[in-house]
Structure 1
């Protein structure tokens, strides 16, 4: 036996469409009919996706991830690299290669710049180590790197990196929010965050 449902009447549409924290007016609702079936005395309704047009008044504070203002859309793709200053390239490479396990991108130029440096792969992006004077002090920085300028690297297993830091005697702090993330500093006190993500 099939039962017909009118989608807007069975879904609290305002609640589904207005997922941002500001007043919105829903317009241009396209009502559709969906078939439901009864199996073993239970009504089964297929998953519904309802498209609506939302008119927003005021500032937008809950944009979709990756959204770009069409007026200013110049083609952002992703983050290409992060530049990190170091006092001694060999000391930094020892940390980034031997502790963190990052590999040098040999294809990137390192002899065409007026300072020494190296490019390290971080997934499909890079860290550019630059041997230049660091304007940031080595002391007096916040003990927790999350309260300082920092570079965040997505990883699969925070507990494994924590064990690597413990074995190497590298100090770190864990996320104050309880999420799986660990913070440390490189030899030049540059803060690094490693946050666990599902891949």
Structure 2
């Protein structure tokens, strides 16, 4: 079911400072920055590498306020690893499979994620204490397929 580790989400106090650090330290490229009002975060996706199943990223998350999920996470735990996200072919089917295996779903339906993805979260208590995200990437655009295929 899992295609790859899509991204690792890292909670931070200041998005711009963390972007600058990751660029300088690791030479990564910012491929997307957006505000996700529904989730209460400013986020940046930093490209790490491409592989057989697609790209892998670091996702930096700055809360838009203290009462958001990431804001509460920072208040309780400080900056650091927030979640691990796995790429899947079909997030709805992956949710059904995980629910059928007894894993509690945080989301009842897929929701909008960064870069046009469909996402859903699994309850950390059922996944070894790790908040886990399932990510379905949008279908490749014709120009992306052409570039990959030559």
TM range (shorter): 0.3 to 0.5
Larger radius of gyration: 1
More helix by share: 2
TM-score for both structures, normalised by structure 1 = 0.29
More strand by share: 2
TM-score for both structures, normalised by structure 2 = 0.37
